Structure 1
């Protein structure tokens, strides 16, 4: 509960590893001796008291407070390391290799007693995915997935398997946060026409399907991600297929399921079709945010009944980040989007700021709930590497550009125990800064030169933008719709869109203007062939405009579509020549 605490920021790059003393100044921490060797991996302990890294020569662990060395391990091939929640065990992993002399290979996952420095146990772990055991917060149990079977160990005794959970083929699992009683979510993929399913168990009650706390089965799942809320009362399961057989999405097909330890389960109904980009629980464990739908994507907050609480409308976004205290939510568009961020006060549902961080590959909240860091890192982007520390009101407080010829690989905040930094009232006035802010300017839709001096009509919009709205009854928004009503609404919207498309393709009819403000009828040349050419050219230009919009939203285009875009200038010249002859 110390307000003067300043979190550290670890910076790892081609020029070595350093620790910066946190915002707003981000000065280099003099207590830590910078390691000029290139580190493969850096990590803090869960409580932030320890900092460890591996640099190709050894694994080193120091105290975060004063930089004093706590432990050093002669493990030059180590590629990853993690601390157990209570800092009793250090887990290290190196790539699995085998030689002619040793065809079996050596155990490559090692668990070290942090007090004595002795190796407790060594395992074979060929896959890097899920390499580290999962511990309960009090370290009463630890779990590993071994040959589609979960092995449970108690009190860090890895010589004896205390319990096993064996289903047909457990491919994924997620251990609940917190202390006893621990719960585990397991995923078993479907086979031979049988559905996939997720089950929740409470340790050590693994007697069979009847002993499960909850069960949710579903089809269309090649892989899943399972996310527990902080209070370990429910899990969100995002099920994905590699290919969307309908051809509607390049990203495959995703569905979102809610499974609670009290046995309740549901599919989360998302009002807009398209990919699910991100799912995030609020730290209060009673709400979650989903970013979904074809661009411009929607973002919606749901309660534990899977009912919409607040809809943020549409925008260029594909990620959501709650502050550690849960009072602020950032919606952002990174990757193939332009880096626009929307900062929201989620108690008042009021937008705080709208900064922009172009080319961002990493975003994370500082534990104080006041600051964020955005970074451009290699190998995702090998140019313009560097990072910025912001105040959530949109002000850039610190900026560090990576020198030419060097690369930035990672930035990492020092974590702190929950409750260390209390929630503060949300500010709407931009924090003072010499670097200023980068408020995003409203983007305007592209218009061909032939249409730029003409009034824009509503029908020329590629997308209907939806404003934010509260979904609570009586709050000015719509009431939560039932599943059947939602399905019927989608059908009506599809029919309406089809009718509008048919109207746009039909020849225009001459109508008498209803008032003096009506738009004048389109001029004609008197030559049906010329009119037909003009109409076809405008139709092709409209199609090109739609393709360019899809390209800017990140959708990959085929070769013939790219060739159409390249013909835009030629078509505009032809249209201009024809219209000049009218």
Structure 2
């Protein structure tokens, strides 16, 4: 079994993984900088940009299919079946007085190598046209976001240019975003933000019937909205957010999740039991359930059915990313970004049983392989300028492949249908790590062992590390005192003034300091007198008890407080119990995923010794 993956550095390349771990020899490496590189959704084509052209490579024949002579192409995208290549060029103003811009968005028919449509769009964000699954229709928004135009592409191969829209939809208010559903019966979901006291709205229409919405939902606190269809196009998740929190309780603003369904025309707000932002949402490939990670850290991970009913919740952990495998058998739950990079794999078909946990720190890209057996994680630029590279893991948690790059901008699997691969069986062997993965693991283990052996000491500045153990004088005042053999009265945090050669200035004690010093001396003297009196009283009582014992009097217990003074054993027990409480606090931090220092770990390791000493002193819970 072999996959290809897109490696997008300064010069993109395709690499055969899982078996070969080597570059695809027939792929022509570009000579100039590349701004965009992408596979088609069916995996047949791979396109990338060059300063003066766009190259389309066929993954079936491993040859360059065509070169499109267009300069300054910044972004490209394929249609669902790879029939059309959409390109966004750098916009150029043709007439400043009339405000006419060049037609910088172009749709290219790969089969007949011809541009069939072009129009102007100054903004790169949201420029991509949206096709239906069968590619018979595509929609694009207008510049002022007041109208959506639909173009008939069913006969595009037989015409020179598609010039006019087949039909249009004009909502009552300007929209912000829209999304066409997958499936053979396409629907249009459109989001209109709140304005002038009117609530925000998400409506779903059956294309091209825009007179009556199939489903609609009004809500407030929504400036942006992410629309996410399930794989069948029968249900929609709307993640609405606002940048500021009206209650001033959250730095992240406010987020709410809504579910809209076509079958039965239902809509509802998903009730989440924990306060805080929604970090990630994901539909299952089966289209029958979805998952949500939400709440302040440590976050909550919950699973809901297609009607919004709670199915299951995972333990509360610091996580912010969730991904279903292509067949829906395994679920990846991880904490990336500002979290440690811990990855948990759960078996959905075995009552959410945890399969394994492993660490993938500094991950900025994560995705499942098309067959659902491998996980790709990568550290990319510009998010991180160091340690750029990719790792391929088996779902069992074993690292299979590792590769490092000076700069890595994007990486992705070659798309393929999950039906093309055999089902995963329990008896399937786990592949062994490739040579690069073994070398990486050995270096990591060696670095961990060397850091563990290195003794931890107090921090010393660089200029004081190579020399005597005692820190050297650093200020001019200290150096002058050292040269004149005079004792230093330097106090950190207090600026001292002195005349070179003169006697050092003795700091005068303040009234508050003198008062506190007298209090401490009086208290210490009183404690000494009380201790002496208690000792004398105890001695007298013992002498009296030996001479005239009284059966009705109770004898003092061992280790009890006599005369208000604790015994040495009791003081030791209280000290040990204080250490136990500190150890319990450290263990709780460790359970929540916090990284502990070596000294804190050594404290936890001494728990058995402390409990043994408590037993010897006669203490019990």
TM-score, reference length from structure 2:
0.67
2:36 maps to what in 1?
A: 41
Provide structure 1 residue ranges, at least 5 long, that are not aligned to the other structure.
442-515, 526-540, 555-582
Task: Go from structure 1 to structure 2 and tell me whether the alpha carbon gap of 1:553 and 1:119 turns closer, same or farther (over 3 Å shift).
Answer: farther
Task: Go from structure 1 to structure 2 and tell me whether the alpha carbon gap of 1:205 and 1:376 turns closer, same or farther (over 3 Å shift).
Answer: same
1:341 maps to what in 2?
A: 343
Aligned mate of 2:175, from 170, 181, 205: 170
Query: What is the CA deviation profile of residues 327-366 of structure 1, one whole-angstrom value per residue up to 9, with x for unaligned ones?
Result: 1110111111111111111111111111111111111111
Does 1:197 find its partner at 2:170? no
Contact kept in structure 2, 1:32 and 1:66, CA below 8 Å: no
Q: Which has the higher helix share?
A: 2
Task: Go from structure 1 to structure 2 and tell me whether the alpha carbon gap of 1:365 and 1:253 turns closer, same or farther (over 3 Å shift).
Answer: same
Distance in 2 (CA, whole Å) between partners of 1:317 and 1:553 is 13
1:574 maps to what in 2?
A: none
Larger of the two Rg values belongs to structure: 2
Which one scores higher on RCO, CA 8 angstroms, separation ≥ 6? 1
Task: Go from structure 1 to structure 2 and tell me whether the alpha carbon gap of 1:128 and 1:115 turns closer, same or farther (over 3 Å shift).
Answer: same
Task: Go from structure 1 to structure 2 and tell me whether the alpha carbon gap of 1:316 and 1:431 turns closer, same or farther (over 3 Å shift).
Answer: farther
Task: Go from structure 1 to structure 2 and tell me whether the alpha carbon gap of 1:187 and 1:422 turns closer, same or farther (over 3 Å shift).
Answer: farther
SS at match of 1:169: coil
1:130 maps to what in 2?
A: 126
SS at match of 1:419: helix
SS at match of 2:314: strand
SS at match of 2:52: coil
Distance in 2 (CA, whole Å) between partners of 1:37 and 1:524 is 84
Distance in 1 (CA, whole Å) between partners of 2:104 and 2:325 is 36
Contact kept in structure 2, 1:327 and 1:423, CA below 8 Å: no
1:26 maps to what in 2?
A: 21
1:183 maps to what in 2?
A: 187
Task: Go from structure 1 to structure 2 and tell me whether the alpha carbon gap of 1:429 and 1:355 turns closer, same or farther (over 3 Å shift).
Answer: farther
Task: Go from structure 1 to structure 2 and tell me whether the alpha carbon gap of 1:50 and 1:341 turns closer, same or farther (over 3 Å shift).
Answer: same
Name the Cα RMSD after superposition: 3.1
Contact kept in structure 2, 1:24 and 1:398, CA below 8 Å: no
Contact kept in structure 2, 1:25 and 1:398, CA below 8 Å: no
1:61 maps to what in 2?
A: 56
Does 1:116 find its partner at 2:112? yes
Task: Give 1:426 shift.
Answer: 5.6
TM-score, reference length from structure 1:
0.72
1:82 maps to what in 2?
A: 77
Task: Give 1:401 shift.
Answer: 0.9
Task: Give 1:428 shift.
Answer: 10
1:398 maps to what in 2?
A: 401
Does 1:419 find its partner at 2:419? yes
SS at match of 1:258: strand
Distance in 2 (CA, whole Å) between partners of 1:353 and 1:230 is 27
2:571 maps to what in 1?
A: none
The aligned runs of 1:358-369 (5 Å cut-off) are 358-369=361-372
1:233 maps to what in 2?
A: 234
Query: What is the CA deviation profile of residues 179-204 of structure 1, one whole-angstrom value per residue up to 9, with x for unaligned ones?
Result: 2x211111111211111111111111
Distance in 2 (CA, whole Å) between partners of 1:86 and 1:288 is 26
SS at match of 1:355: strand
Distance in 1 (CA, whole Å) between partners of 2:426 and 2:225 is 35
Give the stretch that moved more between structures: 181-190 or 34-43. Answer: 34-43
SS at match of 1:130: coil
Aligned mate of 2:138, from 142, 146, 166: 142
Runs of at least 4 residues of structure 1 off by over 4 A? 99-103, 426-431, 436-441
Task: Go from structure 1 to structure 2 and tell me whether the alpha carbon gap of 1:62 and 1:428 turns closer, same or farther (over 3 Å shift).
Answer: closer
Contact kept in structure 2, 1:339 and 1:360, CA below 8 Å: yes
Task: Go from structure 1 to structure 2 and tell me whether the alpha carbon gap of 1:327 and 1:407 turns closer, same or farther (over 3 Å shift).
Answer: same
Provide structure 2 residue ranges, at least 5 long, that are not aligned to the other structure.
157-161, 449-556, 567-581, 596-621
Task: Go from structure 1 to structure 2 and tell me whether the alpha carbon gap of 1:99 and 1:73 turns closer, same or farther (over 3 Å shift).
Answer: same
Aligned positions, number? 446
Distance in 1 (CA, whole Å) between partners of 2:418 and 2:153 is 23
Distance in 1 (CA, whole Å) between partners of 2:565 and 2:271 is 49
Contact kept in structure 2, 1:19 and 1:34, CA below 8 Å: no
1:375 maps to what in 2?
A: 378
SS at match of 2:338: coil
The aligned runs of 1:529-544 (5 Å cut-off) are none
Contact kept in structure 1, 2:94 and 2:102, CA below 8 Å: no
